[in-house]
Amino acid sequence: MTRPWSYRGISHGMIVVALLAVPIQAAAQPSSAAACSGCHAPVNDGPVPGLIGRPAGEIVTAMAAFRAGERTATVMDRIAKGYSDEEINAIAQWYAAQGQPAGNP
């Protein structure tokens, strides 16, 4: 079975290894991130920033700030509070491993 993205994810850190104990096929998103793409488009051309290819650290920092109420938000402050550090890390690693975002110079 080939699952390149999860191997790539694993190379990014231990937390991902723990969370991805169950293998997922190539191109599949972690289920904890499944809902993100409802608003965050693969193409970074709208008012909601795209996440694909964004450095993991950036996503982790933003989520921490949303969760702490330290960053101006409309809904992300309310959503971030529902995710643990481990979940946020796994989501961030996955998005970071997805290559360059379309339409983001």
Partner 1 sequence: MPSRSGTRRKASRRAILKSALAGIATLAAPPVLGQAKAHVIVIGGGFAGATCARRLKAADGTIAVTLVEPNARFTACPFSNAVIAGLRPIEAQYFGYDGVKQAGVDIAGQIVVAIEAEARQVHFADGARLDYQRLVLAPGIDIRFDALPGYDQTAAEIMPHAWKAGAQTLLLRRQLEAMADGGVVVLSAPANPFRCPPGPYERASLIAYYLKTKKPRSKLILLDAKDTFSKQRLFEAAWKTLYPGLIEWVPLSGGGRVIEIDAKTRTLVTEFGSHLADVANVIPPQRAGAVAIAAGVADQTGWCPIDPHTFESKLVPNIHVIGDAAIAGAMPKSAFAANAQAKVCADMIASLIRGEDPREVKLINTCYSLVAPDYGISVAGVYAPRDGLLTEIKEAGGVSPLEAPAAQREAEATYAQAWFQTITREVFG
Give residues 2-21 in contact with partner 1 (rule: CB under 8 A): none
In the list 2, 14, 82, 105, the residue contacting partner 1 (rule: CB under 8 A) is 82
Give residues 40-79 in contact with partner 1 (rule: CB under 8 A): 40-41, 46-48, 74-75, 78-79
* Euclidean distance between CA atoms 77 and 84, whole angstroms: 14
In the list 32, 58, 65, 71, the residue contacting partner 1 (rule: CB under 8 A) is 32
CA angle 44, 49, 17 (to 5 degrees): 100
Residues of this chain that interact with partner 1 (CB under 8 A) are 22-25, 27-29, 31-32, 34-41, 46-48, 74-75, 78-83, 87
